[in-house]
Structure 1
Amino acid sequence: MTPAARVQAAIELIDQIAAGRPAEKVLTTWGRTSRYAGSKDRAAVRDLVFDALRCWRSAAVLGGGESGRSRMLGVIRQRGEDPETIFSGQGHAPAELSDAERDAGRAPDGDAALDLPDWLAARFRDSLGAATEATAQALRARAEVFLRVNSLRGTVDQAVAQLAQDGITAEPHPLSPTALRVTEGARAIARSDAYLSGAVELQDAASQAVVDLLPLGSGSSVLDYCAGGGGKALAMAARLGGGRVDAHDAAPRRMADLPARAQRAGANVRIVSEPRGAYDLVFCDVPCSGSGAWRRAPEGKWRLTAPQLADLCVTQAGILDRAARLVAPGGCLSYATCSVLAEENADQIRRFLERSPDWRLEVARQFLPSDGGDGFFVAVLRS
């Protein structure tokens, strides 16, 4: 596919997403049915679609409309490229621009320049204050690729050397002692020996930093109450040096790949369907808006509604209350989100402490993209 043909494919996919179809499903279906598209074509079209999703509002303003064609015109203008070279009408390229399209569009301003819906922009300002614009702008850009070095399999230096053998360049990142930032060869990670042998795992640097803040001592009994895919459970097991982490999730199918991942990593992780007893640490990485990770999953920024956010806050409070009953006397309850919104983070902890006076807050940290990774919040409470 030519670069222009890739843009035309992205235009058609964006129209489907705008009509309400999930982005991942649209891209997967297109990849399966478009036999003419090679792996590089699929990756390039995916990048174009996600660039449009990250800048959904500003691209529409700059392109002069809300169609897939207008949004891709806006994306191309944002990149500083000449749209005439893409919209040529030649072969499988998009049709030539009309005079109206050439004249349409303007520089976005206000909340459109932040690429946030108005109601969310207000929540960002309430939550982040002076950091609002920098955070919103960071969420408009592609996320960097990070790896977690699995200390059960080797050292940081060994992992860097092993990655280099497969053409992947990575360097330590200051946010976590186990974090590597990939600077070259990211698309080769899943096929690399370092990944397949369990020496490294894909995990955001701030996500790793969340685990670094957890009170994990030798012999600690640990429950990951909302384990999901299990990335943090694996990181906790590595920190325990072979100690066991119990993993639970209200939707067990989310943990389907966890046993294989744990075996590859040499991690002692046990899936439990109904946690019982008392744990030294119960960790809750709760369902949330995902606002801190919207550069990786930008569709959520435009699908989220205020009622959905309110429902999430109710769910989070219920998880905290249930998980607290699984903590041993003197033990810790840890709460985490990949959100930058105060109502899911500091406000949620404040409300929990108001209704649970026997608990006290020991640590709270809000990570923002300016720290080098995604936006995460973590709090550690002790009974």
Structure 2
Amino acid sequence: MTPQARLSAAIEVLDQILAGAAAEQALTNWGRASRFAGSGDRAGVRDLVFDALRCRRSYAALGGALSGRGLVLGGLRDRGLDPAEWFTGIGHAPSVLGAADAGFPAEGNVGLDCPDWLADPLQAALGDDFAGVMQAMRRRAPIFLRVNLAKAAVAEARAALADEGILCRLNSLAKTALEVTENARKIQNSQAYLSGMVELQDAASQAVIAALPLRDGQRVLDYCSGGGGKALAMAAQARLDVDAHDVDPRRMRDIPARAARAGVQIKLVETAAIGTGYDVILTDVPCSGSGSWRRDPQGKWALTPARLAELCAIQADILDRAAQIVAPTGTLAYATCSMLRAENEDQIAQFLKRNPAWHSPHQQRFSPLQGADGFFVALLTRES
């Protein structure tokens, strides 16, 4: 495919997404219908689509319309390229520009690709970092790996990856975190990954695990486990008895294979079978995902005030339920990949108001300006 043909393909996919399709499904459907497209073409179209979704508001302004054509056109203008050289109508290129394609400057919240209703809450949470964080969220997220200390030391894993052409640098957020700087697309077929030496995991997510008071012999529960990334990370930190739970057990279906590859033991527990007396419970709760919008840019535009309120209610319920099964001297950890105070500090303050026998000895935010996703973690313990 020519570069111009990739633009046309991205326009087609974006129109499907704007009509309500999920981004991954729309890309998959296009790939299946476009057998002529090679792996490089599919990757190129995917990059165009996700760049446009991250910058949907500013690209629509620059391109003159919230449409696939407007978003792709706005992306060219954002990069300082002359759209007339790309929108030629020749071959598979998008049709030539017309009066309807005139755009306008992207300023204020539009230029930051921030929904208006979220600007004030994010400003309140981020302070002087607001503009810098929102600009960071307009760009692709770095790729991070977690070194599985149950199988290799950090230096050993880094060297093994380098032998396969995958170059990484250390990240200060967590001692196990490696940021991939070259050949990220080789990771999932690399021996280092297939052998369980490394796992894909954001550096801030790893830092959340590093904040937990994990020690040999503890019983630990990953209460909202999903695919089990944090359960795997905990199991690699110490000799633990790790249980994984999710309200939808289907989300945990890959955990046994991932645990076997990593060389750790994780027990899957359904809701009715959850015990009590856990030394550490991690509740990585459902949230707005505002700290990971770079990875799920559709989530930024799909979030509504009603959905945020619903999520906050779910979070409070999970905290109250998990608090009932922590050992008397145990630790309840609360984590989100959100940057909003309503889901973070305010949620913890409300929990402590409902449960005066508890306190929070540690709370920490991780900012996209540190390179990784936006995350929040709070530790909760009973007063002695």
Query: 2:223·2:283 contact (CA, 8 Å) conserved in 1?
Result: yes
Query: C-alpha separation between the residues in 1 aligned to 2:297 and 2:322?
Result: 30
1:268 aligns with 2:265: yes
Note the C-alpha offset of 1:29: 1.2
Partner of 2:168: 170
Aligned residues: 380
Structure 2 residue corresponding to 1:185, chosen from 178, 183, 186? 183
| Residues 268-310 of structure 1: CA deviation (Å, up to 9, x unaligned) | 2111113112100111000000000000110000011110000
Query: C-alpha separation between the residues in 2 aligned to 1:375 and 1:350?
Result: 20
Query: C-alpha separation between the residues in 2 aligned to 1:210 and 1:100?
Result: 48
1:221 aligns with 2:219: yes
Partner of 1:318: 317
Counting only pairs closer than 5 Å after superposition, residues 127-206 of structure 1 correspond to structure 2 as 127-206=125-204
Query: C-alpha separation between the residues in 1 aligned to 2:85 and 2:259?
Result: 49
Partner of 1:72: 72
Query: 2:64·2:100 contact (CA, 8 Å) conserved in 1?
Result: no
SS at match of 2:89: coil
1:332 aligns with 2:348: no
Partner of 1:42: 42
1:244 aligns with 2:241: yes
Matched AA of 2:95: A
Query: C-alpha separation between the residues in 1 aligned to 2:64 and 2:24?
Result: 26
Query: 1:283·1:335 contact (CA, 8 Å) conserved in 2?
Result: yes
Give ranges in structure 2 of 5+ residues lacking alignment. none
Query: C-alpha separation between the residues in 2 aligned to 1:244 and 1:154?
Result: 21
| Residues 129-156 of structure 1: CA deviation (Å, up to 9, x unaligned) | 2221111111101001100000011111
Give ranges in structure 1 of 5+ residues lacking alignment. none
Note the C-alpha offset of 1:99: 4.4
Query: C-alpha separation between the residues in 1 aligned to 2:233 and 2:31?
Result: 33
Q: What's the % identity of the aligned pairs?
A: 58
SS at match of 1:280: strand
Query: C-alpha separation between the residues in 2 aligned to 1:243 and 1:352?
Result: 28
SS at match of 2:236: helix
Query: C-alpha separation between the residues in 1 aligned to 2:179 and 2:127?
Result: 29
Note the C-alpha offset of 1:70: 1.1
Runs of 4+ in 1 over 2 A off after TM superposition: none
Note the C-alpha offset of 1:106: 2.0
Once the two structures are overlaid, the 10-residue window that deviates more, 18-27 or 230-239, is: 18-27
Partner of 2:57: 57
Query: C-alpha separation between the residues in 1 aligned to 2:47 and 2:100?
Result: 27
SS at match of 2:365: strand
Query: C-alpha separation between the residues in 1 aligned to 2:20 and 2:278?
Result: 43
Query: C-alpha separation between the residues in 2 aligned to 1:86 and 1:253?
Result: 45
Partner of 1:303: 302
Matched AA of 1:366: R
Matched AA of 1:254: R
Partner of 2:17: 17
SS at match of 1:239: coil
Partner of 1:97: 97
Matched AA of 2:279: D
Partner of 1:347: 346
Matched AA of 1:40: G
| Residues 245-272 of structure 1: CA deviation (Å, up to 9, x unaligned) | 1000001111111110000001121111
1:294 aligns with 2:293: yes
Query: 2:215·2:240 contact (CA, 8 Å) conserved in 1?
Result: no
Query: C-alpha separation between the residues in 2 aligned to 1:245 and 1:56?
Result: 41
Note the C-alpha offset of 1:100: 4.5
Query: 2:58·2:111 contact (CA, 8 Å) conserved in 1?
Result: yes
| Residues 320-341 of structure 1: CA deviation (Å, up to 9, x unaligned) | 0000011001111000000000
Partner of 2:278: 279
Query: C-alpha separation between the residues in 2 aligned to 1:175 and 1:106?
Result: 39
TM-score scaled by length of structure 2: 0.97
Once the two structures are overlaid, the 10-residue window that deviates more, 285-294 or 67-76, is: 67-76
SS at match of 2:328: strand
Query: C-alpha separation between the residues in 2 aligned to 1:127 and 1:370?
Result: 14
Query: C-alpha separation between the residues in 2 aligned to 1:73 and 1:244?
Result: 53
Query: 1:175·1:372 contact (CA, 8 Å) conserved in 2?
Result: no
Once the two structures are overlaid, the 10-residue window that deviates more, 182-191 or 105-114, is: 105-114
Once the two structures are overlaid, the 10-residue window that deviates more, 223-232 or 115-124, is: 115-124
